Amino acid sequence: MISKVLNDAPAYLCRMIRAFLQSFGYLLVLALIWGSSFILMKKGMGSELQPTFSSWQVASIRLVTAMLFFLPFVYKARNLLFNRDTPWFLVVGILGNGIPAYLFTYAETGISSSMAGMLNSLTPLFTLLVAIAAFRMAFKPLQMLGILIGMSGAALLVFRGSSSEENSLFHASMVVIATILYAFSVNTIRHKLAHVHSVSIAAIAVFYVGVPALILLLFQQPLDVLELPGAGWSLLAIVALGLFGTAISLLFWNDLIKRRGAVFSTSVTYLIPFVAAFWGWLDGEQFGWTAIIAAVLVLIGIAVVNYAGPAKERN
């Protein structure tokens, strides 16, 4: 018996290491993609001196682009379009993709792209609260401590005291609302759609919001905007946002939620602010040195959350 365990140990250890690296690889890729999404939203709307697409047009084009990418997958999973899981697909589509797309672009008409990325770090806190209140999840005290530590780092990033930050409470609240909606979407995928393939979840959910976005876009006359200076580059930024920031990232995101759970998956939002702040800094947005302290707190929070292990459903 002991010899069998010893013989199987190397293979088991390799599987554990591979799963560990894959999960954190997903986190890194998602952080890079979503951290870059905020600057793409900003570029999609042009500049203050030379505006191009409106916030509504940016969000609509983003969703339509993602829908077009997923159409072959929608056809393959067409039997899932109207079945017993349809309400949950609608929840994921509307709360996890549709409404947040418009909230984030509108928010960036009043706050910087880096600030939007920092506020996005509220997602794990709301994911925890929604899981406890709506999905009967019991979290370990150590896991709660890790989330609070990570959130303190995120708070330090948000309130870093940059005098040049045009901090609009109303526009910032749009991001907060979006993170609450994300929390419901994440928990829905984990608890209600765990039996559905990750690609199918992303494809069907985006299709449900992509069609209304296309109809809305047709009423916004986007072709007229293409005549404006710089509109071509703005459109390129929005298409990249739709392909990577929505479509491709969702493939990684949904699979990660099903593999490691809601709380671990939303840890990616702790890393997003650093990527968003980097792009903001390159674009001339101010970023204080207090970010170093915030980075340490965020990384400690992620380590504590993951060390605590997965949460379990209450009986």
Question: Does position 202 have pLDDT exceeding 70, yes or no?
Answer: yes
Range of weakest confidence among 7-21, 50-64, 84-98, 132-146: 7-21
pLDDT band at 57 (very low <50, low <70, confident <90, very high): very high
- Residue 205's pLDDT band, with cuts at 50, 70 and 90, is very high
Q: Mean per-residue pLDDT for 228-232?
A: 86
Share of the chain above pLDDT 70, in %: 81
Nearest to 270 by CA among 242, 241, 243, 291: 291
Q: Is 80 exceeded by the pLDDT of residue 294?
A: no
Higher-confidence residue of 306 and 38: namely 38
Share of the chain above pLDDT 90, in %: 32
Question: Residue 131's pLDDT band (boundaries 50, 70, 90)?
Answer: confident
> What is the model's pLDDT at position 66?
95
Provide the residue ranges of all domains of the chain, joining segments of one domain with +.
36-135+164-276
User: What are the DSSP calls for the chain, one per residue?
Assistant: -HHHHHHHHHHHHHHHHHHHHHHHHHHHHHHHHHHHHHHHHHHHTB-SSSB-S-HHHHHHHHHHHHHHHHHHHHHHTGGGSSSTTHHHHHHHHIIIIIHHHHHHHHHTTTS-HHHHHHHGGGHHHHHHHHHHHHS-EEPPHHHHHHHHHHHHHHHHHHTS--TT----HHHHHHHHHHHHHHHHHHHHHHHHSTTS-HHHHHHHHHHHHHHHHHHHHHTT-HHHHTTSTTHHHHHHHHHHIIIIIIIIHHHHHHHHHHHH-HHHHTTHHHHHHHHHHHHHHHTT----TTHHHHHHHHHHHHHHHHHH---EE--
Give the model's pLDDT for residue 314: 57
pLDDT in tens, 1-32: 445 443 444 554 455 455 555 667 888 888 89
**Mean pLDDT of the region 64-76:** 95
Reported as a single tens digit per residue, the pLDDT across 150-197 is 778 777 766 654 434 445 668 888 988 999 999 999 889 888 998 898
Q: Which of 271, 251, 297 is nearest to 36 (CA)?
A: 271
